[in-house]
């Protein structure tokens, strides 16, 4: 789960990481109402779940209230990497002497949380990692010990030479680690962490992701969830016992089993098609589940053909076929559907589908090719 910068800033504040004050506004009127009428330098920032807002024109400085209103008007409604800006953060701006990067991630290789830091902050860290990886300092944190003060100071010392600045940065790292662990975070980044001309170290951007599988024990984090339309669909599917991930292609896939779903997507790709989604309906022949899965698939206007790929193990193909027919009768769509059934009672299952009048195939590769062909019509 992702949260917005303003929410990350709230968590930072709660954990004692210094951040400038700010207010979230959903409209120009709200900026008019909530921002005091003065000449203070502020920064107006698009709140969307992507990075690189600065480059996209979604972060603008404003020298007065009037300017903040004007900049908010430009940013609200803007499209950044396919997301519409629905709210802005109007925050107190700071003078910047230098920008740094600090971040925590789960590193599967070292099986631990890894602290990353760089004096090359501000810009996209992925670019630094690609061009000059030696400029990123990394440290694995022992989960039983946590990030200890001396370790935080060791890292901070590589970014800040002045002891006073170094100590501020080290304290921030320790607090960020505590926040990360206590909220079951999977990513926590401050980019940039800044040094001001009056030698204060503070966070002026924040990005945090959380482990979806831990949300059940993080009610406060869950409350912060603000999903995009696509994410809402995925959550809705999840609540119905379906694992659904939307992708950008045009072939809808409905499959029983996660492994088979992956293989199906690979097969579509192999023949030059693009899957519209990952969808695992699990191991049941319940027609209601198929109806729900179908309606989720068809709500995506990119879908031009649907490939249903079922392997009958304990679930028998004839049961599944009956479920599919019941579901398809209820849905009644013009989108072409290709069904591949294999495994227990496949013969009986295919017979049922054929009687209903839909094309059937018995191998995955045939099904993929047929679905691609139908999607091009």
Residue numbers annotated as active site: 101, 189
Residue 23 touching ligand GDP (CB under 6 A) = no
Backbone angles phi, psi at 114, to 5 degrees: -115, 130
Q: Is the CB of residue 112 less than 8 Å from the CB of residue 105?
A: no
Q: Is the CB of residue 59 less than 8 Å from the CB of residue 46?
A: yes
Residue 267 touching ligand GDP (CB under 6 A) = no
Task: Report the partner that residue 93 touches, choosing among ligand GDP, Mn ion, none (CB closer than 5 to 8 A by kind).
Answer: ligand GDP
Q: Report the residue number, 23 or 335, with the smaller CB distance to ligand GDP.
A: 23
* Rounded Cα gap, residues 209 and 105, in angstroms: 10
Residue 205 counted as an annotated binding residue: yes
User: Please, where are the H alpha helices in 101-250?
Assistant: 125-131, 149-159, 163-182, 219-222, 229-239
Closest CA to 102 of 141, 131, 61: 141
Minimum gap (Å) between residue 191 Cβ and ligand GDP = 6
Minimum gap (Å) between residue 128 Cβ and Mn ion = 13
Minimum gap (Å) between residue 287 Cβ and Mn ion = 48
Q: Calculate the CA 135 to chain-centre distance.
A: 27
Residue 43 touching ligand GDP (CB under 6 A) = yes
Q: What angle do CA 348, 243, 189 make, to 5 degrees?
A: 160
Residue 99 touching ligand GDP (CB under 6 A) = yes
Residue 330 counted as an annotated binding residue: no
Write b or e for each residue in 236-264: b if 16 or more Cβ atoms lie within 10 A of its Cβ, otherwise e. ebeeeebebebbebbbbbbbbbeebbeeb
* Rounded Cα gap, residues 165 and 51, in angstroms: 27
Any residues with CB less than 8 A from the CB of 301 and at least 6 apart, and which? Answer: none
Among 204, 221, 293, 307, interactor with ligand GDP by CB under 6 A = 204
Residue 314 counted as an annotated binding residue: yes
Task: Report the partner that residue 322 touches, choosing among Mn ion, ligand GDP, none (CB closer than 5 to 8 A by kind).
Answer: none
Cis check for the bond before 121: say yes or no (omega within 30 of 0). Answer: no
Mark residues 113-132: x for contact with ligand GDP by CB under 6 A, - for none: ---------x----------
Among 13, 18, 23, 54, interactor with ligand GDP by CB under 6 A = 54
Any residues with CB less than 8 A from the CB of 236 and at least 6 apart, and which? Answer: 296
Minimum gap (Å) between residue 207 Cβ and Mn ion = 7
Minimum gap (Å) between residue 188 Cβ and ligand GDP = 14
Residue 187 touching ligand GDP (CB under 6 A) = no
Residue 93 touching ligand GDP (CB under 6 A) = yes
Residue 71 touching ligand GDP (CB under 6 A) = no
**Number of Cβ within a 10 Å radius of residue 342:** 18
Minimum gap (Å) between residue 280 Cβ and Mn ion = 35
Residue 166 touching ligand GDP (CB under 6 A) = no
Q: Is the CB of residue 19 less than 8 Å from the CB of residue 202?
A: yes
Residue 320 counted as an annotated binding residue: no
Q: Which residue is nearest to Mn ion (CB)?
A: 205
For the chain, helix, strand, coil in percent to 5 are: 40, 25, 35
Instruction: Give the interface segment with ligand GDP, choosing from 92-100, 136-144, 165-173, 297-305 (CB under 6 A).
Output: 92-100
Q: Which residues bind Mn ion (CB under 5 A)?
A: 191, 205
Instruction: Give the interface segment with ligand GDP, choosing from 27-35, 66-74, 88-96, 330-338 (CB under 6 A).
Output: 88-96
Strands (E), 234-287: 243-246, 251-255, 277-280
Residue 256 counted as an annotated binding residue: yes
Q: Which residues here bind ligand GDP, judged by CB under 6 A?
A: 43, 45, 51-54, 59, 93-94, 96, 99, 122, 191-192, 204-205
Provide the annotated binding site.
45, 52-54, 94, 99, 191, 205, 256, 313-315
């Amino acid at each position: 789960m992702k949260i917005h910068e303003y929410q990350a800033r709230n968590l930072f504040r709660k954990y004692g990481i210094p951040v400038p004050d700010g207010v979230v506004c959903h409209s120009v009127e709200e900026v008019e109402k909530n921002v005091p009428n003065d000449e203070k330098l502020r920064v107006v920032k698009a709140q969307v779940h992507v990075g690189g807002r600065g480059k996209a024109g979604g972060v603008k400085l404003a020298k007065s209230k009037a300017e903040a209103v004007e900049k908010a008007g430009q940013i609200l409604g803007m499209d950044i990497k396919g997301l519409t800006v629905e709210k802005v953060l109007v925050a107190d701006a700071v003078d910047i002497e230098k920008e740094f990067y600090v971040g925590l991630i789960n590193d599967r290789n070292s099986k631990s949380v890894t602290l990353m830091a760089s004096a090359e902050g501000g810009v996209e860290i992925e670019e630094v990692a690609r061009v000059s990886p030696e400029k990123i300092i990394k440290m694995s944190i022992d989960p039983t010990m946590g990030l200890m003060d001396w370790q935080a100071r060791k890292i901070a010392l590589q970014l800040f030479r002045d002891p006073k600045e170094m100590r501020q940065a080290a304290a921030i790292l320790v607090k960020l680690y505590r926040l990360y662990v206590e909220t079951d975070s999977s990513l926590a980044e401050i980019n940039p962490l800044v040094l001001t001309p009056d030698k204060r170290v503070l966070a002026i951007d924040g990005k945090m992701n959380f482990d979806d599988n831990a949300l059940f024990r993080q009610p406060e984090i869950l409350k912060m969830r603000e999903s995009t339309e696509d994410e809402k669909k995925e959550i809705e599917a999840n609540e119905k016992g379906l694992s659904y991930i939307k992708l950008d292609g045009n072939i809808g896939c409905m499959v029983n089993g996660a492994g088979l779903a992956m293989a199906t997507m690979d097969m579509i790709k192999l023949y030059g098609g693009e899957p519209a989604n990952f969808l695992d309906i699990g191991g049941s022949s319940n027609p209601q589940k198929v109806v729900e899965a179908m309606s989720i698939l068809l709500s995506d206007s990119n879908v031009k053909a649907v490939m249903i790929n079922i392997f009958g193990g304990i679930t028998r193909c004839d049961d599944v076929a009956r479920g599919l027919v019941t579901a398809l009768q209820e849905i009644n769509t013009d989108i072409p559907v290709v069904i591949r059934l294999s495994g227990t009672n496949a013969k009986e299952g295919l017979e049922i589908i054929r009687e209903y009048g839909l094309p059937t195939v018995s191998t995955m590769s045939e099904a993929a090719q047929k679905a691609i062909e139908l999607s091009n019509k």
